[in-house]
């Protein structure tokens, strides 16, 4: 993909300038669209280790968007005298990715976060960290509130992602306290929608693609573990509101509607009209048994809660995957 290049000077002196790392990813690309829709000039950064150029192809020729191919674990320099926001969304984010790329996952959570925070500090920008519900690990508290410290196995196979994000949160707060950087932290719960990769190891694309092909849906364990699923437009709206708020501590953004994985598989089969059956496989190591956000903080501080129902969101997502299978 070839994206239009712009001169270093801002397009409009009054236009907010935002940097988005991981811009070609599932969430990063939707965030870019959201920022452009709110009148931002956006500089997207990605090295395509897990991002997809197709996610940004619709922005070719958009004068308010500039793309830089760069690995944020290396020094990050933007030739602009002013940047208003740095959204750090770069990271492998699915089990397949961070199990295959453990060192890269740790590096982007540590070195990448350091570099992105350094950019925000140098430019006087507000910094927004994409953290995760995986900070809670296999939780002993349900639903999960932001003041819960979590139950994480730091040396397990999932620890590379969990601890990378926990470290990123710690570094973000250190820059806030020590350097006065305006920081925001969003803990993202399971999210789904168009632009997810078919084979990224997450349950929504796995189940939908299996159902559309008429293959058995793979349920790990007995399927009684729970998840809650937030449609991508709801999530991005919550993140944008957080970026505009004055709140500096972590905020859960997700949909609190909880159902078992088996129930979810059955719903996918029904919505796709598939003849697929359900096949059980052993539960992966440290796979969380329950996952449900407490979104009281988001409601009170941001006036945010999800508005897209599960079936509505799944129908849109299934329609997208029908073009990819």
Of 244, 250, 247, residue with least CA distance to 294:
250
Measured CA to CA, the distance from residue 255 to residue 28 in angstroms comes to 19
Instruction: Find out whether 105 and 167 touch, Cβ atoms under 8 Å.
Output: no
Catalytically annotated residue among 85, 98, 136, 161: 161
148 is catalytic: no
Instruction: Find out whether 41 and 16 touch, Cβ atoms under 8 Å.
Output: yes
Q: Determine which helix (DSSP H) or strand (DSSP E) holds 186, and give its type and residue range.
A: strand 183-188
Residue partners of 121: CB distance under 8 A and separation at least 6: 175, 179, 181
DSSP per-residue letters across 216-271:
PEEEETTS--EEE-EEHHHHHHHHHHHHHS---S-EEES---EEEHHHHHHHHHHH
Handedness of CA 19, 21, 22, 24 (dihedral sign): positive
Catalytic residues: 161
């Amino acid at each position: 993909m070839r994206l239009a290049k712009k001169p270093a000077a801002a397009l409009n002196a009054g236009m907010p300038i935002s940097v988005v790392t991981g811009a070609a990813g599932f969430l990063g690309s939707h965030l870019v669209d959201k920022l452009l829709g709110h009148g931002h000039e956006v500089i997207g950064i990605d090295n395509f280790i897990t991002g997809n150029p197709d996610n940004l192809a619709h922005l070719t020729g958009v004068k308010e968007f500039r793309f830089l191919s760069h690995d944020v674990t290396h020094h990050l320099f933007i030739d602009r005298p002013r940047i208003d926001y740095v959204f750090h969304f770069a990271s492998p984010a699915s089990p397949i990715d961070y199990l295959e790329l453990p060192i890269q996952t740790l590096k982007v959570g540590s070195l990448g976060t350091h570099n992105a925070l350094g950019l925000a500090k140098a430019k006087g920008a507000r910094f927004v960290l994409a953290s995760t519900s995986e900070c809670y690990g296999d939780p002993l508290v349900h639903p999960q509130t932001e003041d819960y410290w979590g139950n994480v196995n730091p040396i397990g196979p999932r620890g590379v992602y969990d601890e990378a994000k926990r470290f990123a949160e710690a570094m973000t707060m250190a820059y806030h306290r020590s350097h006065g950087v305006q920081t925001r932290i969003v803990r993202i719960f399971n999210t789904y929608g168009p632009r997810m990769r078919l084979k990224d190891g997450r349950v929504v694309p796995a189940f939908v693609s299996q159902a559309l092909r008429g293959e058995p849906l793979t349920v790990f364990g007995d399927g009684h573990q729970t998840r809650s699923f937030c449609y991508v437009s709801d999530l991005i709206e919550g993140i944008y509101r957080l970026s505009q708020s004055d709140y500096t501590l972590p905020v859960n953004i997700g949909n609190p509607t909880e159902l078992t994985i088996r129930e979810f598989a059955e719903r996918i089969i029904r919505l796709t009209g598939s003849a697929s059956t359900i096949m059980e496989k052993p539960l992966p190591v440290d796979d969380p048994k329950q996952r449900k956000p407490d979104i009281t903080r988001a409601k009170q501080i941001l006036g945010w809660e999800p508005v897209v129902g599960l079936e509505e969101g799944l129908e849109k997502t299934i329609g997208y995957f029908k073009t990819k299978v």
